[in-house]
Amino acid sequence: MSRAGAGIDPARRVAFDVLRAVSVREAYANLVLPAAIRDAGLSGRDAAFATELTYGTLRGQGSYDAVLAACVNRRLDHLDPGLLEALRLGAHQLLAMRVPAHAAVSQTVALVRAQLGHRTTGLANAVLRRVGADDLPTWLARVAPPADADPTGHRAVATSHPRWVVDALGAALEQEGAVLELDALLGAHNVAPAVTLAARPGAYDPSDLGAETGGAPGRWSPYAVVLPAGDPGAVAAVRSGRVGVQDEGSQLVAMALAAAPVLPAGATGRGERWLDLCAGPGGKAALLGGLAAGAGARLVANDSSLHRTELVRQAVGWLGDVVEVRTGDGRTIGATEPAAYDRVLVDAPCTGLGALRRRPESRWRRSPADVESLVALQYALVASALDATRPGGVVAYSTCSPHVEETHGVVERVLIERADVEVLDVRAALDGVGGLAETLPDRPTMQLWPHRHGTDAMFVALLRRT
């Protein structure tokens, strides 16, 4: 360690480096952090501390920025970006963790000195001492807009979400007559989710996995095991590819497509061809491939990115020739392979507003301008998937976003512009999932929610080509 970096807690340095990677390189913390922890040789409590520092700072960034803006005599975007990241890191320790104030301030100032030099240490010290003078509820009462005059603005600051995200999530809940659940949903985004594993069908028994890891069965998926704690990368079955890290909502999407009735009715899956149109990074493809193998079907896993295709190849390697992995533009498959498949999954690129628990940086990275281009892409992919599906076959359209335009809007456009499509009831396809139907409104599509189901906010619609 250099002299300038001497005395800095390694966990804090790891968190700072990951925050900078997220900000500068638009990296995802869930991809960068595990490697940074390993490279620093952290384990146990130190690894857990680095993880909480990183994710907690990202989740609370909106609230912390409002507090910092009240403690700095200039606009935050006029600060050195590295200094701002360090101040956010310090604010999280002072306002949301049981870190002694003197340690939070001194360690953050030492980090600033090592990264930026002596010239900004005085400012960092003064700002953090102001931040630590009050607790978070007191600060939020001071800096958040009044709830009665500006409810969206109040929620945005108090729960650390951009205003447009608060509005979009409120509109999505309103579709179900559940707008009163908005505060519960926003709060759920700021709670670290448990790590959920998927014991891939035909590769690993879920009860064996639970016994080996101390994990509990999932609430919905029969393949799910919820870890009590620890690094999933330390599980041998995960390293072998027979088990994957996968949210239960994602598992239900693959299960719904595999169970959906195709016409003419027959032995489900026997001799069928399935397609995962946007398969990267491979979690749904691996589960779908296992289900295909068990049903006597074969799966083509396609993605437009060479890098993501390689991830898919790694995820489905255990399935051998049951799965064919390809790289190609999903928007053209309907033209090049018309009516070639019995079941097609379109897990479309989206804003990711349904996974803000796991990828909190997405709330700061996306903007309303992204929605229009994503919706156009989503529709093009669904249209291609329907063209690639034989009459009587089924397309599952899925997004990890509850945004109305990305979900119901896309489905409604499909139904308006195509006369050869009907919507199937997802609840009927998942009727073996005990208790799920009772949590869903009376409509054929399915929208899951973190606060209600404990999953990412996955949306899925089953579309049969008539």
Is a pLDDT exceeding 70 seen at residue 332?
yes
**Judgement on whether residues 169 and 294 belong to the same structural domain of the protein:** no
Residue 4 confidence (pLDDT): 46
Residue 3 confidence (pLDDT): 42
Token duo for residue 128? 């953090």
**Judgement on whether residues 149 and 129 belong to the same structural domain of the protein:** no
229 is a domain residue: no
**Judgement on whether residues 357 and 455 belong to the same structural domain of the protein:** yes
- Which among 71, 278, 350, 400 is annotated as catalytic? 400
Name the nearest CA neighbour of 97 among 145, 70, 131: 131
**Judgement on whether residues 159 and 124 belong to the same structural domain of the protein:** no
**Judgement on whether residues 266 and 406 belong to the same structural domain of the protein:** yes
Residue 2 confidence (pLDDT): 41
**Judgement on whether residues 153 and 107 belong to the same structural domain of the protein:** no
Taking a C-beta distance cutoff of 8 angstroms, is the pair 64, 94 a contact?
A: no
Residue 60 gets the label, from left (phi > 0), alpha (psi -120 to 50) or beta, of alpha
What's the chain's average pLDDT? 95
Name the nearest CA neighbour of 351 among 399, 314, 290: 399
3-state secondary structure labels for all residues of 404-455: CCCCHHHHHHHHHHCCCEEEECHHHHCCCCCCCHHHCCCCCCEECCHHHHCC
**Judgement on whether residues 84 and 164 belong to the same structural domain of the protein:** no
How many structural domains are present in the chain?
Answer: 3
CATH label of the domain that carries residue 387: 3.40.50.150
Residue 61 confidence (pLDDT): 98
How long, in residues, is the chain? Answer: 466
Token duo for residue 364? 């700061």
DSSP 123-143: HHHHHHHHHTTS-HHHHHHHH
Taking a C-beta distance cutoff of 8 angstroms, is the pair 323, 299 a contact?
A: yes
Long-range CB pairs of 290-294 (<8 Å, 24+ gap) are: 290/200, 290/201, 290/202, 290/203, 290/319, 291/201, 291/254, 291/255, 291/258, 292/258, 292/322, 292/323, 293/201, 293/202, 293/319, 293/322, 294/201, 294/202, 294/269
Taking a C-beta distance cutoff of 8 angstroms, is the pair 350, 339 a contact?
A: no
Is a pLDDT exceeding 70 seen at residue 6?
no
28 is a domain residue: yes
Is a pLDDT exceeding 90 seen at residue 284?
yes
Name the nearest CA neighbour of 14 among 136, 5, 209, 389: 5
240 is a domain residue: no
pLDDT in tens, 110-143: 999 999 999 999 999 999 999 999 999 999 999 9
Per the structure, the complete domain to which residue 346 belongs is given by 246-465
**Judgement on whether residues 33 and 175 belong to the same structural domain of the protein:** no
**Judgement on whether residues 133 and 169 belong to the same structural domain of the protein:** no
* Mean pLDDT in residue range 356-378: 96
Clarify whether 400 is annotated catalytic: yes
Intra-chain end-to-end CA distance of the chain, in Å: 66
CATH label of the domain that carries residue 42: 1.10.940.10
316 is a domain residue: yes
Share of the chain above pLDDT 90, in %: 94
Is a pLDDT exceeding 50 seen at residue 1?
no
The pLDDT-based confidence of 434 (bands split at 50, 70, 90) is confident
In this structure, the dihedral spanned by the alpha carbons of residues 461, 334, 285 and 270, taken in order and rounded to 10 degrees, is 90
Helix or strand run (H / E) with residue 463 = strand 459-465
Token duo for residue 286? 């691996």
**Judgement on whether residues 304 and 438 belong to the same structural domain of the protein:** yes
Query: Which of 137, 172, 205 marks a domain boundary?
Result: 137
3-state secondary structure labels for all residues of 366-410: CCHHHHHHHHHHHHHHHHHHHHHEEEEEEEEEEECCCCCCCCHHH
Residue 268 confidence (pLDDT): 63
220 is a domain residue: no
* Mean pLDDT in residue range 457-465: 98
222 is a domain residue: no
209 is a domain residue: no
Residue 134 confidence (pLDDT): 97
217 is a domain residue: no
Provide the 3-class DSSP secondary structure of residue 462: strand
* Mean pLDDT in residue range 423-449: 95
Residue type, 327: T
**Judgement on whether residues 461 and 363 belong to the same structural domain of the protein:** yes
Cα gap 166→185, rounded to integer Å: 10
**Judgement on whether residues 13 and 162 belong to the same structural domain of the protein:** no
Query: Which of 137, 155, 177 marks a domain boundary?
Result: 137
pLDDT in tens, 190-221: 999 999 999 999 999 999 999 999 999 999 99
